[in-house]
Every structure is written in structure tokens, then in C-alpha cells.
Amino acid sequence: MTEFNAKDQPLVWTAIILAGQRPGIDPLAAHFGQSWKALVPIAGEAMLTRVVRTLDALPEIGKILVLGQDPAVLAPALAGAGKAHVLPSGNGISTSILTHAGADYAPWPVLVTTADHPLLTPAMVQTFLAQAGRAGADVSVAMVEKQVMLADYPDTRRTWLRFRDGHWSGANLFALQTQRAQAALTLWSAAEQDRKKAWKLFLHFGPMLALRALTRTIGLADALARAGQRLGLSARLIAMPMAEAAIDVDKPADHALAETILARRSDQT
């Protein structure tokens, strides 16, 4: 599933894994007696280790940068991953990515994901990167539509962004293909607190787009494209066909579900 660019050369991505945490005690980490959420064990391994191993196995990924406030604490979770390095994060998600993305040691294109995504599989990543590569957008965002999720996990609870083309939940996968993506990262910093309310999120792009999001008279794909235009870049929605792409681990209930899923995968191999 390796995607090719206009010069018929395979795209090789720099992967950035966000493994930091907000100030204070993380509730999930505390629940499992850990200081760092990224190191919470799931099915016997730290969540971060699972994400790193998935990315390290992919030929599409040339380098993996793990960003966290305490690299020395996180480094043991990278053991055996030849492509992975841990670096200090900045003050906030967007600042952390901006500090590294596009540097000589982290060239474009850049894939961003999170350490609390232990259900991530090579197939998910390859599906996303293949579609993002074909789209050629400056920024591509992976989402899962509600009906896809409910078909496999009817009892799960997620935060849904409601639009004319469906209800969407984030998959913690972002493709940043060019330097123009930096404008989106700058906005990300300002909009982080509004990420779970669509109309507030799109208020950053003007009242009309926010109104259309609030009244559900625009689809998410169209809304992202228009938001990108406001920033002088191209933005694309990637609808993921795998429900598990939108299951990250923020709460004990998420952890229990993820362990059940991983146990089932183990039984199937």
C-alpha cells in the first residue's frame, strides 16, 4: 500500500508521537499507579510501546520522534525500535509539533499520532497514509463516522462532532505534508480547548462557518476544506473504515475495552 508522489518516488514519512500530558495528575495514569499516561500498561505493555512498535514496522515510516516532557522516563518504552528517538516536548501540542516538524531531522511529510492509541495497527496507518498521499493535501485528518463505530461497538461512548454528512469522532491521525501545515498548527494551539464542540472549533474561521456547523448545514469534509482555504492551505477529511481507529484510551472504561479488543486479536492470530 506504499503511496507514490508525482515523481514516482515512495513517500517516506516522519512520525511524531505525542506522549506528553497536561499539567497536574493524569486521572488514567493515577488509576493505574503510573506517573505518565503514555506508560500505562495495557495487555502487559505500555501504550507507548505498542504505538512505537506499530510504526517502527512500517516501510512508509522513515523516522519516529516521541515527544514528552521527560524523555529519560519515556526512553525505555522505545526499546528495540530502531527508528524511534525521544525528544523533549514544548509548551502545548502545536508548539511541540512546530518545534520539530520540517526540521532536517524530521522532514516533511509528517504523520502525527498519540501515545494513547494502543489499538493502532499497520493496516490503519497504511490506509490513512495511502489516502492522504493520493489527496496531496497540506493537512489530512482521520475521522471515524458514527455508523462505522456502532456497527462494531454499539455500546461505546465517544465524543461526536455532528455535521450534515454524519457524526464524526477523531482517530488521532494527522498527515502534514508541506510547510503550509504550520498555519494549521498555529491555529490548533488557539482552538485546542474547543476541539470537542464543532461550532466553537469553526468559530475560529468566522461566524458563518461556525453557524453552518451549529445548524448542521455543512458536511465535515466541506467544512475542513473551507477552513483550510481560510488558512491558505488545503485540508482533507479521511474517513477511516476501521472503528477501532477512533478508540483511544482516556478513561478506565476505554482501557477495559482496549484490553478486550487486544485479547480478541491475540486469539485470532
Can you give the CATH number for the domain in which 256 is found?
3.90.550.10
Supply φ then ψ for residue 225, to 5 degrees.
Answer: -60, -45
Distance CA 12, CA 96 (A): 21
The reply to whether 105 falls in a domain is yes
CA 186 to the chain's CA centroid: 17
User: Mutual orientation of helices 207-214 and 220-231 as an angle, nearest 10°?
Assistant: 170
The reply to whether 203 falls in a domain is no
Which helix (H) or strand (E) segment holds residue 262: the answer is helix 252-268
The reply to whether 44 falls in a domain is yes
Binned at pLDDT 50, 70 and 90, residue 6 comes out as very low
Q: Is the confidence at residue 29, as pLDDT, over 50?
A: yes
The reply to whether 250 falls in a domain is yes
pTM for this predicted structure: 0.92
CA angle 247, 183, 213 (to 5 degrees): 55
Q: What pLDDT score was predicted for residue 2?
A: 44
The reply to whether 202 falls in a domain is no
The reply to whether 181 falls in a domain is yes
Residue type, 130: A
DSSP 87-111: EE--SSHHHHHHHHTTSTTSPSSEE
- What is the residue-averaged pLDDT of the chain? 90
Binned at pLDDT 50, 70 and 90, residue 117 comes out as very high
The reply to whether 21 falls in a domain is yes
The reply to whether 122 falls in a domain is yes
Q: What pLDDT score was predicted for residue 180?
A: 95
Distance CA 198, CA 209 (A): 10
Give the domain extent around 63. Answer: 13-151+165-186+224-268
Query: Domain count of the chain?
Result: 1
Q: What pLDDT score was predicted for residue 247?
A: 97
| pLDDT tens, position by position, 192-231 | 555 555 656 777 667 788 788 888 899 999 999 998 998 8
Q: What pLDDT score was predicted for residue 4?
A: 44
Q: Is the confidence at residue 148, as pLDDT, over 80?
A: yes
User: Quick one: average pLDDT of 159-178?
Assistant: 94
